Amino acid sequence: MQEFLRKLRLITDVSIPLKTDKTQFVQLLQQHVDAGKTDFFSSLFSSAFEVFSSSPNQYVGEIWQDSFKIRRKAHLFEPSLTFARVKGQVASTAEGTLVEAEIDGSSGVLSFVAFLAVFYLIFIVTTLFSGQLPVVALVFFLFHGALMIGIPYLVTRRGVQRMAYNLERDLYFIVKE
């Protein structure tokens, strides 16, 4: 399943080399990340209230000595709200620190898309067997179903790409500070 999601580009890996010590990087990262949960359902309900947060930090998550789990905070009137999560490993190298992260945008979208697909499948099958649906309406429902499944997929894939860009940019900014 993970390989299928990687081919769909809903999960991507990022490797970010940084010119700083590992312990210093972890301390800097802890200063720039608010403590909080990163799983889909707890962040879905807490993100409604974090838009009013007075903290200047852009990320919420958990930081350990060798790894981290973070997500981007929700902002008021942000049109690009995505549920991409980052799980990363921090390792020391000769040049500094290497951050290897996996960005997963499929956490909440898969359940939504699966529900829609099952709904459309049941609807189309029952109307086909009843014989009361014209062919034009069937084509419309297939087109509508493709849009309702395709748009969340495209938004999520773009959110994963944006999270990879923002993560690399923000980690460089944290280290430069």
Order the strands of the 67-72 sheet from edge to edge.
11-18, 97-104, 85-92, 67-72, 59-63, 33-35
Report residue 135 as tokens. Answer: 């062919």
pLDDT tens string 13-68: 999 999 999 999 999 999 999 887 776 665 555 556 666 666 788 888 899 999 99
pTM recorded for the entire structure: 0.81
- 132 pLDDT more than 80: no
Question: Per the structure, how many domains does the chain have?
Answer: 1
What residue ranges in 95-168 does DSSP mark as E strands? 97-104
Q: What is the mean pLDDT of residues 168-176?
A: 91
For residue 15 the two structure tokens come to 């490797």
In the block, residue with structure tokens 């280290």: 175
What range does the domain containing 165 cover? 2-176
